[in-house]
Amino acid sequence: MKITNEIAKQIKKDFPIFSHNLGLVYLDNAATTQKPASVINAVKNFYEKDNANVGRGVYSLANRAMKRYDQTRTVIANFIGANSGEIVFTRNTTESINLLAYVISKIIPKGKDEIVLTEMEHHSNLVPWQELCKRNGFKLKFVKITKDFVLDMKDFNSKLSDKTAIVSIAYASNVLGTINNVKLITRLAREKGAITVIDAAQAIQHIPIDVKHLDCDFLAFSGHKMMGPNGIGVLYGKKELLEKLSPFMFGGGMIEKVTFNDASWAKTPEKFEAGTQNIAGAVGFAEAINYIKKIGIENITGWEAFLLKYALKRLNEVKGIKTYHPNSGEKVPVVSFTLDSIHPHDIAEMLNEKKIAIRAGHCCAMPLMSVIKANGGVCRASFYFYNTLEDIDALVDSLREIQEKFK
Ligand SMILES: Cc1ncc(COP(=O)(O)O)c(C=O)c1O
């Protein structure tokens, strides 16, 4: 079903937040997405009908809960072309990358001590690696972005070397919307024997992803950015690599055998899932993926491309606006901008008076702000497939009014 503006209006009706907040123009989807009733109900139904802890009980209810939890692993695996044993549940992308940064040293060959990131990383794909460097004496290298806000592939090639241990990059930038050529990057990194990590937090909800096609070693994403509940995320890892890694948290649920003085670990992926997991979150997550499948990820991509084009056209009609995004190539529907010299927080607050929700500030990408020379931060409008052309018109009209007030 190709999404049109009329269909997007119908789709919006599936999301109770909009009927509880009449007039809400929600343009902060890169921070988190709204949840359709089917996801909310799946969580509610789980607690009402199937709630029990998993992996422990022998009674029917516990088996049912376990089944639902396991089913989600399969649903997610199918969604990204992985095997269910390669899906580790975490709380979010941040935890997935932290998990990896804690335990990855074990699979890094001797002599390799450089981590290649890019200038466009979110703090979650930067700070965990900084900490690894502090612990292990590794060095960080950053691939530059061009004036057109895309990765400078010449610079990438110059930063890669036989010393490169890890290449960890965003699939899509949460500030610029740039979609990186992760397939090519992964191949080039592999030729140098580096481990590849993809931060897919801003891509998984917008474009089809197949980890086998990308041939990446690890890929991280969050349920809440794709209509799922908060507190459930994924670390995908190639089975043979996950098997080589040690757990990073210890306790119940991740062991095979325990004596007073020692313990051995359960198999992958359970060995990474210590303690009671977010079972209801997993059930809701599966429902979110079902919802995406029902709409069709290609239809989502198509409508969002249209929305983005329209948004860029309309926003750039406003004199004094500066937008930060690549002029060509594929993009996710995110537009960062500044308006005259008005502080982004003032703009966001004034938009809030009109029930328009956008993000303002450094968007968890402080180093990038100095690269793009937006040291006071940016305003960021980010869209999802339930957004309409009227949402964008409301934003542009309000920006013009704000501009008048500041004159
Ligand atoms: C590119 C990118 N990576 C990582 C994250 C962190 O996601 P989470 O807060 O769900 O861990 C975000 C969140 O905005 C992001 O945009």
CATH no. for residue 17? 3.90.1150.10
Give ∠ CA 283-287-291 in degrees, rounded to 5. 170
Same domain membership, residue 156 and residue 138: yes
Q: Measuring CA to CA, which residue among 319, 324, 320 is closest to residue 336?
A: 324
Q: pLDDT tens-digit profile of 132-160?
A: 999 999 999 999 999 999 999 999 999 99
Q: Which atom of ligand 1 is nearest to the CA of 93?
A: 11
Q: What are φ and ψ of residue 93, in 5° steps?
A: -60, -40
Q: What is the CA radius of gyration of the chain?
A: 22
In this predicted model, what pLDDT tens digit does every residue of 343-376 receive, in sequence order? 999 999 999 999 999 999 999 999 999 999 999 9
Does position 398 have pLDDT exceeding 90, yes or no? yes
Structure confidence by residue, pLDDT tens digits, 75-90: 999 999 999 999 999 9
The verdict on 108 and 220 lying in the same domain is yes
Region 230-241: mean pLDDT is 98
Q: Is residue 329 part of a domain?
A: yes
The answer to whether the CB of 98 is under 6 A from ligand 1 is no
Q: Cα(44) to centroid of ligand 1, in Å? A: 26
Alpha-carbon separation of residue 250 from 254, 365, 369, 391 (angstroms): 7, 32, 38, 47
CATH of the domain at 188: 3.40.640.10
pLDDT, tens only, 281-326: 999 999 999 999 999 999 999 999 999 999 999 999 999 999 999 9
Q: In terms of domains, do 304 and 363 share one? A: yes
Range of the domain at 140: 40-293
Question: Between helices 279-295 and 60-80, what is the axis angle to 10°?
Answer: 40
Q: Which CA distances in Å does 247 have to 231, 268, 382?
A: 20, 9, 36
Rounded to two decimals, the pTM is: 0.98
What is the Cα–Cα distance from 265 to 407, expressed in whole angstroms? 65
- Widest CA span of the chain, in angstroms? 73
State the pLDDT confidence band at 57, using cuts at 50, 70 and 90. Answer: confident
Give the other-Cβ count within 10 Å of 238's Cβ. 20
94 CA → ligand 1 middle, Å:
6
For the chain, how many structural domains are there in total? Answer: 2
Would you please indicate which residues are annotated as catalytic (active-site) residues?
364
